[in-house]
Structure 1
Amino acid sequence: MERIAAHMTLSSGLYRFGLAFVFGAFAALALAPVNLFIAAFVSFSVLLWLLEGAVGNPSSGIIGRNMPAFLVGWAFGLGYFVAGLWWTANALLVEADEYAWALPLAIFGLPAYLAIFYGLATMLARLFWTDGGLRLFSLAAAFGLMEWLRGFVLTGFPWNAIGQALMPFPLMMQSVFLTGSLLMNVIAVFIFASPGLLVGGRRSSWAFIVAMLLLGAHLGYGAYRLNFREPESTQLAAAPVVRIVQPMIDQAAKINDSERGRIFEEHLALTREPPPAGGKVPDIILWPETSIPFILTRNPDALSKIADTLSDGQILIAGAVRVESDNAIDNPRFYNSIYMIDSQGQIIGAADKVHLVPFGEYLPLETLWSKIGLTAIAADMPGGYSAATNRQLLTTPAGLKLWPLICYEVVFPELSSDVNERADAIVNVTNDGWFGNSSGPYQHFQQARIRAVEFGVGLIRNSNSGISAIINPYGELLKGLDYQVKGFVDGPIPHKILPILHERTRFLNFGLIELLIFATLLFSRVSFIFNRN
């Protein structure tokens, strides 16, 4: 290992850049659907070695001296995000004649932008670099800070945060209930990069030991939490039953006006199916995002058909486009929404999407882009969708409070910060059919599972083409339908778990730990300079 580490450290130029890109891409194997988390140990150890030799000209100023470190991190991030997000380009192929020209932007443009955060992370880490084990803290804290920024800068895109690689299955998800996602990013980098210290002599070995103890605590807490919990059987027996309808409608058909009637009937047919032998008639029916293929409030016949399909007392929760306007003709505003409809065909609740997808549901700087004929990919109306100003709960007549998250809203932890206090469960509706049979739907599903564990609530997820599931607060699947399986599944809505720490406290803990690490690193750096002089 000493020879490999020395080779990485002494590499330079395009070769160093290429190594960073390759091992960044290798790190993406730690993500769903592969979940080979051992790949992150290899990749981050190599990143640590590459940063060892990433030293600029001392006379170039603070930026010039640290630019090699930035380029190493940026190349690493480029490889990681290209390998982890290439599937976003599939959305452009649904209407290839109109959007195929933008494929390079999806495959390389978005990753190139996201990689800037990793470049800044390695640059910041190099500013506080030391020869001993503290460099591991420097790298972990810098990545933690930049993953936090990645979650909200320019509306944010925290997809495939590093911490997710340390949570591939329920045993390894439980710690996020204590730490929250932000601190988990710090812990993940600290653990993943620790094998790189094994070539650093005794001054570094102590940090590796700390990392292994932290990994042991992570696994141990997961085992404890899963094995010493109250039985769920009694609670689930009395819980409301939800039916998840997964129609598996091809995306090309969903945007074809002539297919709308057939699509609506397919949803109704799956809703009418009797429960499996011995099963309870569902209390709630859940359809996926934009499953109602027309403006429902302008189509009373559709509401009548829904009423005829539902049994007495049943509730339908379905994704739809909602329109709102001061004038029925001029300047309508469209919302990506969820409707709640009772068995009389009455709309008794609605919730609009708060966090829209840039370029998918709306165009930033629309006036500029419209000059070249660009429109939002997933919104076929002028101006795209409008965002809601606040999140509305869906409360059923029986008093069940549901926290609605539409599509990728589920990947933003802050959008669910109050869910345990205000709601009984999360409802996540999405349409991953845009992305075909790729890693995208699996990554989306994995992040939804993590959100359930993080906030201690059950999650009912419906994706048009899969993966749909009922997930308990431990990240376990109670019922589900795999990707590209047409059908329905009935199951009880899990009870939530009272949180140990509120999200505000977890965020405060993250901030204090970041501050403590950087203060310690600064003190160490100043002491080193003082002693050298």
Structure 2
Amino acid sequence: MDATIANPQRISGIRTGIMALRGWRRMLAAFVAGGLSALSFAPIFAFPILFLTLPVFVWLIDGSTNWRRAFTAGWAFGFGYFFFNLFWIGEAFLVEADKFAWLLPFAVTLLPAGLALFWGLAAAAARVFWCEGIGRVFVFAIALAVAEWLRGHILTGFPWNLVGYALTYPLPLMQSAALFGAYGLTAIALFVFPAPLVALGDSRGPLSLRKIGAAAALAAVPIGLLLAYGLWRLAAPQTFVPDVKLRIVQPSVPQREKWMSEYQRRIFDDHIALSLENPAGEKDSLQGITHLIWPEAAMPFFPLEAPVALDILANILPPGTTLITGALRHDPSPAPGTAAAPDARALNSILVLNERAEPLATYDKINLVPFGEYVPLEAALSKVGIQKLTHGRGSFAVGPEPRPLMTIPGLPPALGLVCYEALFPGNIVQGSQRPGVLMNVTNDGWFGASTGPYQHFHQSRVRAVEEGVPLVRAANNGISSVVDPYGRTLQSLGLDVRGQIDSALPEAISPPLYARLGDWTLALILAAFAGAAFRFRKNGR
């Protein structure tokens, strides 16, 4: 066997060196390890790197003599993690650079710095309960998993790229989200990735094959079980809702043009033209299409207040075809052709229109994007020139809760999700009635060809697996798709592709474990980890 592998001093020496780091070198090591961890997610999916970076995090806590030093190490690791996971947010501030570019440095640093506080506090809490041996990895996983859950729930919540998403690629691994959800997988990931190297670093004496095998088994056994479950689950037959044929339109409107008045008619006409063609480019006037789906805020105006637009829609929709579109609307809604009342609320919505362009159902967005759709402390911040990125007067209003289901002719009960509402594990189904389809409209044109749209799509797919419900996704510039309850992409259009998708609608399946128990699955995992940590602490291992 190669001596560099068999020599225990090699790994324990690295551990000792990391523990001994002080000052800026310690902060830099934490930042770099956190930044490299971001490679684990879409579109790269280099999740094995966590076998190297998360042990560094554990060893930095090992070298912390008190909770304050653990906090700084955790914060620096988190800052690197979130900085490289969220750098694409800066793209949104360049769409109208003359107005917003000055905010870019603040956005790409302050948001990661704020989110890193969760990891700093988790590291500090872990240090309080730290112990020797593998037990401390359980403590580490508990503290960080709780921090990730809090990140997704405190204030508006922002659960972007939870660590657990590293265990949702490839597709067989994604199936474990049906059991544990993204939060439960986060707890599992925070144990299995650091455990092998930490165990080897703790080893005394020569590293025998038995010791190496035992350390590797700490990750190989749980990941192998998750893979086996996923392969078994993917063998299930695929079924479709009868008599449904969807057409999803992806217009790829440049974000810089989206809200310019001179482009309004062209954008609307573009949606119409794409709707009347099949994916082969042949005009078919929507024959055989039961449901036409447009992306978030597809029309750059308030369609219910635009009688000319409604007349055009009524002329192109054949009998039996329903339009489902992202749309802006006012509440109360004025009569067609009249202005909204000064106190009317602006809503970012999904609008369902019948063949006569009459509204059948609406869904109003609940989870608004801070500084994108509303400005916190707007009265104060507006005085220093801070305004929301989206167009329109004032902030958008929040829709009613719990999130209602939409009744759409020919479809099972539909749950509307606008933009990043598809990010929230366990919180998208809020009522007692179970949906039969997740209807997600979005516009990721703000973020160009960065990693952001790929990550957004991947996390949306995981919602389908968690709930056992198909996902229909219409995105302005991609990625539009139809995803079945197992996360399989049946049809899709890539980023910045102009076109349409014609697809059947997969049927929902029986509610998986996570859909029934929600985040109680996380609680059960954390309880098991706490028991294991106590046992190893008591035994001094």
What is the identity, as a one-letter code, of the residue corresponding to 2:522?
F
Deviations 1:369-408, CA, capped at 9 Å, x for gaps: 1222321112422234444333232222225321110000
Task: Summarize the Cα distance change of 1:171–1:399 in structure 2 as closer, same or farther, 3 Å threshold.
Answer: closer
2:470 pairs with 1:458? yes
Partner of 2:8: none
Is the contact between residue 161 and residue 455 of structure 2 (CA under 8 Å) also seen in structure 1?
yes
SS at the partner of 1:460?
A: strand
Structure 2 length-normalised TM: 0.90
Partner of 2:12: 2
Q: Which amino acid aligns with 1:148?
A: W
1:95 correspondence with 2:96: yes
Report the alpha carbon displacement of residue 31 of structure 1 after superposing the two structures with TM.
0.7
Structure 2 gap ranges (5+): 1-10, 206-210, 335-339
**Which residue matches 2:268?**
264
Identity %: 39
Post-superposition offset of 1:245: 0.2
Does residue 173 in structure 1 map to residue 174 in structure 2? yes
Contact 1:469 1:481 in 2 (8 A): yes
Q: Deviations over 1:53-93 (max 9, x none)?
A: 122xxxxxxxxx21111111111110011111000011111
Distance 1:220 1:262, change over 3 A: same
SS in 1 for 2:381: helix
1:317 corresponds to 2:324 = yes
1:194-214 deviation digits (Å, cap 9, x = unpaired): 232212127997675333211
1:118 counterpart residue number: 119
Contact kept, 8 Å, 2:240 with 2:505, in 1: the verdict is yes
Q: Any residues of structure 2 matched to 1:157-168 within 5 Å, and which?
A: 157-168=158-169
For 1:24, the equivalent position in structure 2 comes to 34
C-alpha distance in 1, partners of 2:508/2:279? 25
What's the counterpart of residue 242 of structure 1? 246
Residues 500-531 of structure 1 deviation map (CA, whole Å, 9 limit, x = unaligned): 32545242232233244336545765887xxx
Distance apart, 1:180 and its partner CA: 1.6
Letter in structure 2 aligned against 1:329: A
Aligned to 2:395, what secondary structure does the other structure show?
coil
User: Does 2:229 match 1:221?
Assistant: yes
The verdict on how the C-alpha distance between 1:383 and 1:170 changes in structure 2, with shifts beyond 3 A counting, is same
Equivalent position of 1:61 in the other structure? none
Cα pair 2:438 2:470 within 8 Å, conserved = yes
The C-alpha deviation readout for 1:271-304, integer Å capped at 9, x for no partner, is: 1114658997221111000002111121111111
Q: Deviations over 1:131-180 (max 9, x none)?
A: 11111111111111011100111211000100011112311100110112
What's the offset of the Cα at 1:189?
0.9
Tell me whether 1:51 sits opposite 2:37 in the alignment.
no
Q: Which has the higher helix share?
A: 1
Change (3 A) 1:506 1:397: closer
- For residues 428 and 326 of structure 1, what CA distance do their matches in structure 2 show? 23
More moved, 489-498 vs 325-334: 325-334
Structure 2: distance between partners of 1:214 and 1:379: 48
Which residue in 2 is equivalent to 1:531?
A: none
Q: Give me the CA root mean square deviation.
A: 2.3
Q: Using the alignment, how far apart are the partners of 2:15 and 2:182 within structure 1?
A: 31
Residue by residue over 1:449-481, the C-alpha shift from the partner in whole angstroms, topping out at 9 and shown as x without a partner, is 111111111101111000111011111110010
Structure-2 residue corresponding to 1:33: 43
Whether the 8 Å CA contact 1:128–1:522 is kept in 2: the answer is no
| Match in the other structure for 1:209 | 217
Distance across 1 between alignment mates of 2:222 and 2:536: 23
- Are 1:388 and 2:438 an aligned pair? no
Over 3 Å counting, the alpha-carbon distance change for 1:365 and 1:300 in structure 2 is same
1:297 and 2:304 are equivalent in the alignment: yes
Q: Which of structures 1 and 2 has the larger relative contact order (alpha carbons within 8 angstroms, sep 6+)? A: 2
Per mean C-alpha deviation after superposition, the further-off stretch among 280-289 and 114-123 is 280-289
Q: Is the 8 A contact 2:135 2:533 kept in 1?
A: yes
Q: TM-score, normalised by structure 1?
A: 0.92
**Structure 2 residue 368 is matched with structure 1 residue 350:** no
Counterpart CA distance in 1 for 2:490 and 2:453 is: 19
Q: 1:135 to 1:437 in 2, by over 3 A?
A: same
1:281 match: secondary structure: coil
Contact 1:363/1:384 (CA < 8 Å) preserved in 2?
Answer: no
User: Across the two proteins, how many residue pairs are aligned to each other?
Assistant: 516
CA distance in 1, matches of 2:461, 2:419: 14
467-476 or 366-375, larger mean C-alpha shift: 366-375
Residue 346 of structure 1 aligns with an amino acid whose one-letter code is E
Name the amino acid aligned to 1:199: G
Instruction: Determine if the alignment matches structure 1 residue 370 to structure 2 residue 378.
Output: no
1:121-140 equivalence runs, <5 A: 121-140=122-141
Query: Which string of whole-angstrom CA distances, capped at 9 and with x for unpartnered residues, describes residues 314-371 of structure 1?
Result: 0110111110149843212100001001111111111100111111101111111122
Question: Which 5+ residue runs of structure 1 have no aligned equivalent?
Answer: 56-64, 529-533
1:336 aligns with 2:348: yes
Residues 87-127 of structure 1 show CA distances to partners (whole Å, capped at 9, x for unaligned) of 00111111111111111121110000000111112112222
Query: How far did 1:264 drift?
Result: 0.5
Whichever residue aligns with residue 104 of structure 1, its letter is P
Corresponding position of 1:58: none
Conserved 8 A contact 1:360-1:379: no
Query: Which SS does the other structure have where 1:236 is aligned?
Result: coil
